[in-house]
Chain A
Amino acid sequence: MIRCRTGLFLGIVLTGCGPIYDGDPAGQVVEQLRDRFVGSEPVASAAPPVTRELVAANPGSYLLVTAADGETTAAMTLIAGQGTRRTFMSADQISVTVDRGVIVATRGFPTDRMASELRGVLEAIAVGGGTAERVHETLDGLDQIKTELLQCRIALAGAENVEILGEIKAAAKVTEDCSGSNSSFSNVYWISPDAGIVKSRQWVAPLTEMLTLASP
Chain B
Amino acid sequence: MALPAAAEDLGPSYTTFGTTGLIEMPTAESAERSQFATTLSYTQNGSFRSTLNYQLTDRLSGAFRFSVFDIYRFDTTLNPIETFDRSFDLQFRLIDEGQYRPAIAVGLRDFLGTGRYASEYVVATKSVGDALKLTGGIGWGRMGQRDSFANPLGGIADYFNTRPIYDDRINGEGANGGTVSYEQFFRGDAALFAGLEYQVTPTLGFKAEYSSIEYNAAQFDPFVDYESPWNVALTYRPRRGVTYSAAYLYGTEFSVQATFSLSPERRDIGSGLESAPVPIRVRTSDQRAAQSWDSAAQPQAPIQAALEQLLEVEGITLIGLELSDNVARLRYENGRYRSEAQAMGRAARMLTQVAPASINVFVMEPVKEGLPLSAVRLSRLALEGLENKVGATEGVLGRAEFGPAGPADGLRFSNPEDPAFTWGIGPYFSYVFFSDPDDENLDVGLRFDAQYQITPNLSIAGRVNQSALGEQEPLFGFDTPNSYANVRTDKGFYGRHGNPTLEYLTLTHYSRLGPDIYSRVTAGYLEKMYGGVSTEVLWKPVTSRLALGAEVNYAIMRHEDMDFRFAQVVRTDDAGGRAIDGDYEIVTGHLSAYYDFGNGYHAQVDLGRYLAGDWGATFSLDREFENGWRLGGFFTLTDMPAEEFGEGSFDKGLRLTIPIDYFVGTPTQRTFNQSLRSLARDGGARLEVDGRLYDLVRPGHEAHVSETFGRFWR
Q: Which residues of A contact B (CB under 8 A)?
A: 5, 9, 12, 14-21, 23-26, 28-29, 31-33, 36-37, 39, 79-80, 82, 85, 87, 89, 92-95, 97, 104-112, 114-117, 135, 137-145, 147, 183-185, 206-209
Contacts and interface: CB of A to CB of B under 8 A. Distances in A.
A16 B276 contact: no
B424 A139 contact: no
11 contacts: A9-B429, A14-B429, A17-B425, A17-B426, A20-B424, A85-B388, A95-B276, A107-B714, A117-B389, A141-B265, A141-B267
B444 interface: yes
A193 B274 CA distance: 38
A139 B710 contact: yes
Given A80-B279, A206-B2, A144 B626 contact: yes
A138 B627 CA distance: 15
Given A29-B664, A85-B388, A143 B711 contact: yes
Given A94-B275, A108-B275, A207-B270, 14 more contacts: A12-B444, A17-B426, A18-B449, A26-B426, A28-B663, A32-B665, A87-B279, A93-B276, A112-B714, A117-B389, A137-B390, A141-B265, A143-B271, A143-B710
Contacts of B67: none
B660 interface: yes
Contacts of B708: 143
Nearest to A10: B429
Report the 3 A-B pairs with minimum CB-CB distance, sorted nearest first: A16-B426, A20-B424, A93-B275
Contacts of A12: 427, 429, 444
B422 A18 contact: yes
Contacts of B444: 12
B393 interface: yes
Contacts of B218: none
Given A21-B424, A115-B392, A207-B270, A108 B276 contact: yes
A17 B424 contact: yes
B668 A36 contact: no
Contacts of A19: 419, 422-424
Interface string B296-326: 0000000000000000000000000000000
Contact of A135 (B281, B390, B711): B390
A125 B1 CA distance: 23
Nearest to A28: B664
A135 B390 CA distance: 7
B714 to A, nearest CB: 6
A18 B426 CA distance: 8
A93 B636 CA distance: 50
B670 A25 contact: yes
Nearest to A184: B1
Interface residues of B, number: 64
A144 B273 CA distance: 16
B200 interface: no
Interface in B223-242: 239, 241-242
A79 B278 contact: yes
A25 B666 CA distance: 8
Nearest to B34: A142
A110 B269 contact: yes
B388 A115 contact: yes
Contacts of B626: 142-144
Contacts of A143: 271, 339, 626-627, 707-708, 710-711
Interface string B654-680: 000000110111101010000000000
B451 interface: yes
Nearest to B658: A29
Contacts of A5: 426
Given A28-B666, A80-B280, A97-B388, A139 B426 contact: no
A145 B398 CA distance: 15
B688 interface: no
Contact of A32 (B239, B393, B663): B663
A138 B711 CA distance: 10
A95 to B, nearest CB: 4
A12 B446 CA distance: 12
A37 B242 contact: yes
B281 A80 contact: yes
Contacts of B265: 141-142
Nearest to B448: A18
Given A20-B424, A36-B241, A85-B388, A111 B279 contact: no
A147 B390 contact: yes
Contacts of A37: 239, 242, 260
B273 A110 contact: yes
A36 B273 CA distance: 16
A111 B281 contact: no
B625 interface: yes
Contacts of B668: 23, 25
Contacts of B670: 24-25
Contacts of A39: 239
Nearest to B426: A16
B473 interface: no
Interface string B130-170: 00000000000000000000000000000000000000000
Given A16-B426, A25-B666, A115-B713, A110 B270 contact: yes
Given A14-B427, A107-B714, A144-B710, A20 B660 contact: no
B271 A138 contact: yes
A87 B282 CA distance: 12
A151 B642 CA distance: 65
Contacts of A147: 390
Contact of B388 (A33, A104, A110, A208): A104
B264 interface: yes
A185 B1 contact: yes
B664 A25 contact: yes
A29 B663 contact: yes
Contacts of A79: 278-279
A171 B591 CA distance: 73
B439 interface: no
Contacts of A112: 271, 714
Contacts of B1: 183-185, 209
A133 to B, nearest CB: 11
B172 interface: no
Contacts of A28: 663-664, 666
A27 to B, nearest CB: 9
Contacts of A209: 1-2
Contacts of A145: 393-394, 710
Nearest to B390: A117
Contacts of A16: 424-427
A25 B393 CA distance: 29
Given A143-B339, A145-B710, A108 B279 contact: no
B598 interface: no
Contacts of B390: 115-117, 135, 137, 147
Nearest to B280: A80
Contacts of A141: 264-267, 627
Interface string B417-449: 001001111110100000000000000100001
B625 A142 contact: yes
B389 A14 contact: no
B425 A108 contact: no
